[in-house]
A and B are shown apart, each in its own frame.
Chain A
């Protein structure tokens, strides 16, 4: 556990919060939802890090944390009377595989094919994990909505 609470972890928690806040403003998220949207980003990263730490699988980490984020966003949507997208779109930002995409391009240019494939694989795994997390929870939520006869805007 000693290497769980590292300085990097805390730096990343703080920057994921700030980064999500900035993205929420870029996406024109209403000021009164900003704390929830930013918290969503913070939790997303905290779960991603924890699952990655204990299982070593970035796919599983991305999948589980996005599933949580989607559920959290649906919860916020209900509480705050706003579409779930308002929280989901900024909330998933911290685990978007921007760095893997960068290294994929860079190693391709440098003809380091082994590293290129590793980062491409990581980017795809995380991308599919994110999509899987959103889809699985969305399907459950929409099934529940149908069962209750609720519409998207209620």
Chain B
């Protein structure tokens, strides 16, 4: 990547598109909408004087072509392999694109600012564990659980957080969902077998909230209805698959409990 940038620095058009794609890729990776990605790349290129900008993005690929007034031409594609929700980074990329369009600094400075964003984090990675525990236990109580269910949901929620951190990018998202859903189903049923007063359902629901793609489904349908048909269908498919994988992990855990 760094090497290719050295090469680009001799060619303004290529370098500009490369940087604009970096911003777009960053937004897509942090969970930004496809419309936002396309618009941002177009605005950045136009701010630097591009006469023609064509951008097409779906959730896993950005394709862009620009033509400058002097006739120089650049066309690049960027493959984006994983997306997640990182609202902090999304906001930073948004801020960067806003300031870049306003100030149009030299490309080298643009590059430096982008580089600084890549290193920034809103919170250390471990906050995932207490946050998952709080989320799972809150929703266990929200859906009718008592103190005991709440405490067990804290443990299982923390475990889901640990699974998420430990597997990180090593495993695909759907596999992570199956493992988390299986672990949650197994442990909550085990708890209700050990202590008969415990309602495994409420614990399980608390954990399901961590995995369920509810908001993703909503934004997927929005993309679909706002005209981003391909990105919208892919996101809808992703959400449906995630829901099916939760069911798969849960059913697997019920089968395991039945067999134990």
Chain A residues closer than 8 Å to B86, beta-carbon distance: 27-28
Q: What 0/1 readout, one digit per residue, does chain A (17-31) give for beta carbons within 8 Å of chain B?
A: 011011111111111
- The answer on a CB contact under 8 Å between A154 and B131 is no
Which of B13-21, B106-114, B170-178, B219-227 touches A? B219-227
Chain A residues closer than 8 Å to B98, beta-carbon distance: 153-154
Chain A residues closer than 8 Å to B219, beta-carbon distance: 85, 89, 134
Chain A residues closer than 8 Å to B33, beta-carbon distance: 85, 152
A37's nearest neighbour on chain B, judged by CB, is B87
Q: Which applies to chain B's interface (DSSP): helix, strand, loop or mixed?
A: helix
Chain A residues closer than 8 Å to B32, beta-carbon distance: 83, 85
- The answer on a CB contact under 8 Å between B246 and A30 is no
Chain B residues closer than 8 Å to A148, beta-carbon distance: none
Give the CA-CA distance A29 to B43 in the complex, in Å. Answer: 25
Query: Which of A27, A103, A139 is in CB contact (< 8 Å) with B87?
Result: A27
Chain A residues closer than 8 Å to B247, beta-carbon distance: 101, 105
B202's nearest neighbour on chain A, judged by CB, is A99
In the complex, A131 has a CB within 8 A of chain B: yes
Give the CA-CA distance A117 to B194 in the complex, in Å. Answer: 31
In the complex, B128 has a CB within 8 A of chain A: yes
- The answer on a CB contact under 8 Å between A83 and B209 is no
- The answer on a CB contact under 8 Å between A96 and B87 is no
- The answer on a CB contact under 8 Å between B142 and A12 is yes
Give the CA-CA distance A101 to B134 in the complex, in Å. Answer: 21
- The answer on a CB contact under 8 Å between A22 and B215 is no
- The answer on a CB contact under 8 Å between B218 and A131 is yes
Q: How many A-B residue pairs have CB under 8 A?
A: 164
Query: Which of B87, B134, B139, B209 is in CB contact (< 8 Å) with A21?
Result: B134
In the complex, A35 has a CB within 8 A of chain B: no
- The answer on a CB contact under 8 Å between B246 and A101 is yes
Given contacts A98-B209, A105-B247, contact A138 B142 (CB under 8 A): no
**Within A63-96, which residues are at the interface with B (CB < 8 Å)?**
66, 81-83, 85-86, 88-89, 92-94, 96
In the complex, B73 has a CB within 8 A of chain A: no
- The answer on a CB contact under 8 Å between B85 and A135 is no
In the complex, A11 has a CB within 8 A of chain B: yes
Query: Which of B40, B88, B95, B139 is in CB contact (< 8 Å) with A15?
Result: B139
- The answer on a CB contact under 8 Å between B87 and A86 is yes
Give the CA-CA distance A82 to B93 in the complex, in Å. Answer: 10
Chain B residues closer than 8 Å to A82, beta-carbon distance: 91, 94
B133's nearest neighbour on chain A, judged by CB, is A22
A17's nearest neighbour on chain B, judged by CB, is B138
B211's nearest neighbour on chain A, judged by CB, is A98
- The answer on a CB contact under 8 Å between A15 and B39 is no
Query: Which of A23, A27, A83, A103 is in CB contact (< 8 Å) with B36?
Result: A83
Nearest chain A CB to B242 CB, angstrom units: 11
* Chain A interface (Cβ < 8 Å from any Cβ of B): 8, 11-12, 15-16, 18-19, 21-31, 33, 66, 81-83, 85-86, 88-89, 92-94, 96-99, 101-103, 105-106, 109, 127, 130-131, 133-135, 138-139, 142, 151-154
Show 9 A/B contacts (Cβ-Cβ < 8 Å), sorted by A.
A16-B138, A22-B134, A25-B127, A30-B122, A83-B36, A97-B214, A98-B139, A152-B40, A153-B98
Known contacts A27-B31, A82-B91, A99-B208; 20 additional CB pairs below 8 A are A11-B141, A19-B134, A19-B209, A23-B131, A24-B87, A28-B85, A31-B122, A66-B218, A83-B32, A83-B91, A83-B94, A85-B87, A89-B87, A96-B209, A96-B215, A105-B247, A106-B201, A134-B221, A152-B35, A153-B40
